[in-house]
């Protein structure tokens, strides 16, 4: 007790500089001790996870297949590819990529089992396989497929984070990643839905190769520009865009988030992206700014792997005798901006050249009640504009119905700003429709050519989309047929399933090669 009192007295009598030195030394040592304790905790946790993983792996495979014990032992020795896709039952373009990849592995490599980390808890494996067949016409082997349920998916719902959505969803994805790891550690991990923050968890708690197929960067320079220019959008509310102070604070928030997001991307061993637009933005993020990557082999650039489009099915559709039908295919999400399609059609319908037999059909899937409410809001808007008899909204249509619409429509429309790629646009081209899309993102840089051998048209706002619709319906039959034929040719040469499968196989090979090299160097360093 006397020693303690003496120490306190000595400290209080010390000069300010000595006091500051003592405090800084104490803080530094405390931080270092916490750091060492954290490393020990992570090491112990890793050991526990790996020790229990083999048992869990065997149990999952036992539940998946119904074979003899000798066959079960063979299955346990096979490679497991973990695919992180919490919304794998959504039925959109991202899900087509996922299931095409799964089908490819099942057909090409009998030694591989695909484990899907999914938050679709109320859907059985057979129901999901049936939906994949119905929506995408993709066949799956149930005995080479494992579904890993994620009960904490609600943490990545945008509705749960009305403020600071990017940070909230990203932190939520880390919880989701930990839940995934506790259930099964595969031989290779690939995120196919854009949750880069999960790489931090997987790299900390496992020693497996980490890869990703990036559809759309969580943050981009375009998003920063919209906030800087104070333009309102679904990502930038009017209350913020109208305030200089709030806009400035949001720019700072985005810049800080971009730095952390960049660190996360560098944790991946190899990155595949779906378009030139996505590659441009991801590669910018991969260049360090205020930080240095901890990865021994950080990806310096991403590799373009165009999404698979079932062009073979659509190219059999005849080009002649099409209805005067405008078709939209996209999930009912805010960024798809179906409202602009409806308002463009309303403006087009008021022109002198409009024919009353021109109709518009919007087709899309809904993930949740929020999406269903959005559909109802769009229907109400049609009534307000007086076009409800000419515009129809359909939800979760089947594969056969979708093919029928693609085979009979004349124009395919997409209004999303900075669409990362646009599988539905390629489907329009292959099926013989005239694409009318937003002049940005993947459609601008990879898909549509508006000059020379034209393959489609661009719009930017309601007025320009309405004007392009009027222009398309004024085309002669010969000119229209020329555009559609060229669009079909490009779709086959550039965006087929075969092209995707070859590029995907190379990408997965690179994930394994770079990942194993990183792990080997790390183990050698720790010896």
Question: Among candidates 262, 259, 267, 298, which has minimal Cα distance to 282?
Answer: 262
353 vs 339: CA distance, rounded Å: 23
186 vs 178: CA distance, rounded Å: 13
Question: Among candidates 482, 497, 312, which has minimal Cα distance to 403?
Answer: 312
**pLDDT at residue 353 above 70?**
yes
Write down the pLDDT at residue 254: 86
What share of the chain has pLDDT > 90, as a percent? 55
Backbone phi, psi, residue 449, to 5°: -115, 120
- pLDDT tens figures, 76-89: 567 899 999 999 99
Confidence of residue 59 (pLDDT cuts 50, 70, 90): confident
Q: Could you give the residue ranges of the DSSP H alpha helices within 216-275? A: 221-228, 238-241, 244-265
- pLDDT tens figures, 218-277: 887 777 766 666 555 545 455 555 566 776 787 888 888 989 999 999 999 999 999 999
The answer to whether 288 touches 367, Cβ cutoff 8 Å, is: no
99 vs 133: CA distance, rounded Å: 10
290 vs 139: CA distance, rounded Å: 47
| Neighbour-count burial of 300, counting CB atoms closer than 10 A to its CB (0-12 exposed, 13-18 middle, 19+ buried) | exposed
Q: Which residues are paired to 304 by β-bridges?
A: 273
Query: Of 64-73, 129-138, 462-471, which range is least confident?
Result: 64-73
Confidence of residue 201 (pLDDT cuts 50, 70, 90): very high
Helix (H, G, I), strand (E, B) or coil at 332: coil
95 vs 270: CA distance, rounded Å: 20
Helix (H, G, I), strand (E, B) or coil at 300: coil
**pLDDT at residue 213 above 90?**
yes
Query: Residue 14 carries which DSSP code?
Result: S
* Better pLDDT: 57 or 134: 134
321: its two tokens: 């005798």
- Please give the radius of gyration of the chain, using alpha carbons only, rounded to the nearest integer: 27
68: its two tokens: 């003899």
**pLDDT at residue 493 above 60?**
yes
Confidence of residue 289 (pLDDT cuts 50, 70, 90): low
Q: Which residues are paired to 79 by β-bridges?
A: 112
Write down the pLDDT at residue 477: 92
- What domains can you pick out in the chain, each with its CATH number? 51-65+75-308+499-526 (3.40.50.2000), 311-495 (3.40.50.2000)
Backbone phi, psi, residue 77, to 5°: -90, 0
């Amino acid at each position: 007790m006397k020693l303690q009192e003496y120490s306190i007295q000595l400290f209080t009598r010390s000069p300010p500089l000595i006091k500051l030195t003592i405090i800084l030394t104490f803080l530094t040592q405390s931080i270092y001790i916490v750091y060492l304790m954290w490393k020990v905790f992570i090491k112990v946790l890793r050991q526990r996870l790996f020790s229990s993983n083999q048992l869990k792996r065997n149990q999952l495979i036992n539940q998946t297949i119904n074979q003899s014990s000798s066959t079960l032992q063979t299955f346990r020795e096979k490679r497991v590819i973990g695919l992180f896709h919490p919304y794998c039952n959504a039925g959109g373009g991202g899900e087509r990529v996922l299931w095409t990849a799964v089908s490819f592995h099942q057909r090409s490599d009998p030694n591989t089992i695909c484990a899907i980390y999914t938050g679709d808890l109320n859907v059985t494996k057979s129901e999901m396989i049936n939906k994949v067949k119905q929506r995408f016409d993709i066949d799956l082997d149930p005995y080479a497929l494992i579904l890993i349920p994620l009960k904490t998916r609600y943490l990545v719902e945008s509705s749960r984070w009305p403020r600071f959505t990017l940070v909230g969803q990203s932190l939520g994805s880390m919880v989701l990643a930990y839940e995934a790891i506790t259930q099964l550690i595969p031989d290779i991990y690939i995120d196919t839905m854009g949750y880069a923050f999960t790489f931090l968890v997987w790299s900390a708690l496992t020693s497996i190769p980490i890869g990703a197929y990036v559809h759309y960067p969580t943050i981009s320079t375009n998003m920063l520009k919209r906030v800087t220019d104070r333009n309102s959008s679904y990502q930038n509310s009017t209350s913020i865009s109208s305030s200089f102070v709030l806009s400035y604070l949001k720019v700072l928030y985005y810049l800080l988030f971009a730095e952390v997001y960049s660190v996360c991307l560098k944790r991946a061993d190899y990155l595949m992206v779906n378009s030139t637009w996505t590659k441009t933005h991801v590669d910018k993020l991969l260049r360090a700014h205020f930080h240095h990557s901890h990865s021994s082999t950080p990806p310096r650039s991403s590799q373009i792997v165009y999404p698979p489009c079932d062009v073979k099915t659509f190219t059999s559709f005849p080009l002649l005798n099409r209805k005067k039908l405008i078709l939209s295919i996209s999930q009912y999400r805010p960024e798809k901006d179906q409202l602009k399609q409806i308002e463009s059609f309303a403006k087009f319908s008021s022109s002198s050249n409009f024919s009353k037999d021109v109709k518009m059909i919007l087709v899309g899937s809904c993930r949740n009640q929020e999406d269903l409410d959005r559909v109802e809001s769009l229907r109400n808007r049609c009534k307000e504009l007086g076009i409800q008899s000419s515009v129809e909204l359909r939800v979760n249509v089947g594969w056969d119905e979708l093919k029928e619409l693609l085979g009979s429509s004349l124009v395919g429309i997409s209004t999303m700003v900075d669409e990362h790629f646009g599988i539905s646009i390629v489907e329009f081209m292959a099926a013989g429709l005239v694409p009318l899309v937003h002049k940005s993102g993947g459609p601008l840089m990879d898909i549509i050519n508006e000059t020379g051998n034209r393959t489609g048209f661009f719009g930017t706002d309601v007025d320009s989309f309405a004007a392009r619709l009027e222009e398309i319906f004024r085309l002669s039959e010969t000119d229209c047929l020329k555009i559609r034929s060229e669009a079909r040719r490009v779709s086959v040469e550039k965006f087929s399933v075969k092209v995707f499968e070859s590029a995907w196989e190379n990408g997965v090979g690179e994930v394994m090669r770079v990942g194993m090299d990183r792990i080997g160097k790390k183990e050698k360093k720790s010896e």
